[in-house]
Amino acid sequence: MLFTFLAKAAGSSNGRTWAFEAQYLGSSPSPAALVGKKKKMNKKIVLAGGCFWGLEDLIRTQHGVLNTEVGYTGGTNENPTYENHPGHAETVEIEYDPEKTSYRKLLDFFFRVHNPTTLNQQENDRGTSYRSAIFYGNEEEKKEGEDFIAIVNKSKRWKDLVVTTLEPLGIFYKAEEYHQDYLQKNKGGYTCHAIQFDSYV
């Protein structure tokens, strides 16, 4: 523990003695006390499940979610746009606090708000842009995705098997600004997402 003082001193002259006054200002942790403390790191999960407007609007409300951005990933061209994103899926990048939620809990919600059994389609939206996909950043996330797909299939809540793909996460390209928080800016706008089930777990 380190102690901090504010000190005052007076010199001596003509036989006068020194005067010293010290005021305690508090203490600060010693370097040893800081060992083992780590800065809390937020995490991210990148998901695709149809039009990114509706998926973002629902998942942004979940406990522990700090920020969401919509964009494109998984395709063939750099700097994709809404008009030109071959192979890219419309995705939502979700930043979350791992002390308040988890990768598994967000996957649980993801599989409750879109149909993971329709290949390259969510309702009227068709094409690979609208595929159901989990973009994993490491092998642990891939395993969690595999395990949760198994949970969804075992639940028999959907008449068909899950076709959600597990794809390694490459570059996430943020979509145009007018797509961000679209349904917050355009109340009553188009969405094909809704909470359809309670938790799978």
Contact call for residues 42 and 95 (beta carbons, < 8 A): yes
The two beta strands, 121-122 and 2-10, are unpaired
Which among 48, 51, 94, 113 is annotated as catalytic? Answer: 51
Euclidean distance between CA atoms 148 and 166, whole angstroms: 11
Q: Is 51 a catalytic residue?
A: yes
- Give me the active site residues, please: 51
